[in-house]
Amino acid sequence: MDIVISNIPFFLKGAIVSLQLTIVAMFFGIILGLGIAVIRMKGVRPLQWFAQVYVSIIRGTPILVQIFIAYYGFPDVGITLSPMASAYIVLSINVSAYLSETFRGALLSVPKGQWEAASSLGLSPWQTFKRIILPQAARIAIPPMGNTFIGMLKETSLVSIVTVSDLLLRAQQVIAQYYGYTLLIYIEIAIMYWIMSTFFTAILNRVEARLAKAY
């Protein structure tokens, strides 16, 4: 038990890396995902086709394979990425494909009459989207976004395969040093993942409640 307790600070550093990967991936994933959703709804036909193929490929292939392609495959064509850079890029691209479908569904759920009403008030399409459509769509999108966020937090454990020093890799390093503590250590990091997931679920629930009151 002393081994488990004494390594908590070491594991916390790995947890910070996992959180950092999740937050950065979600940040860029939201931006890219929203852009893809808008393109699929309002873009010209070639861009719509490209966005649809993009989403299909990313969602239809395992994220672990995508990590291998970025870290081990890209050097074959002269592109060498660090483990962290590979993780950031792959996680951001992967989550953007899922979020784009979330955003598209949320945007489509806003009644078309909102556009017409805003136009009659003299608002431009951009003003309508920014002030009326997007806030309503955001309220609808928050719950599935929360699930995606929690899923991304857990999927960061996959980047340990390319030596990113996240929570899982640090646990494996400790297990390699001490025999007989494997179960306890894995339970310990499972609890840490659960605590982080619960914490962010609470935050997202508060955001959802505030948006529900505002709109």
Per-residue pLDDT, 137 = 82
Cβ atoms within 10 Å of 138's Cβ, excluding its own: 19
Q: What is the spatial distance between Cα 174 and Cα 12, in angstroms, rounded to a whole number?
A: 13
Cα of 64 vs its chain's centroid, Å: 15
Place 208 in a pLDDT band, splitting at 50, 70 and 90: confident
- pLDDT average, residue stretch 14-38: 94
Q: What is the pLDDT of residue 41?
A: 84
CA distance 185 to 189: 6
What structural domains and CATH numbers belong to the chain? 2-214 (1.10.3720.10)
Rg (CA), the chain: 21
**CA 44 vs CA 38, 48, 49, 73, 152: distances in Å:** 11, 6, 9, 32, 31
Q: Count Cβ atoms below 10 Å from residue 102 Cβ, excluding itself.
A: 22
Interval 159-201: pLDDT, tens: 999 989 899 999 999 988 887 788 999 999 999 999 999 988 8
Q: 98 is written with which tokens?
A: 């899922």
Question: What's residue 1's pLDDT?
Answer: 63
pLDDT of 215 higher than 70:
no
pLDDT tens-digit profile of 116-127?
A: 777 777 777 777
- pLDDT reported for residue 7: 85
Distances 187 to 65, 126, 156, 171 between C-alpha atoms, Å: 27, 50, 17, 10
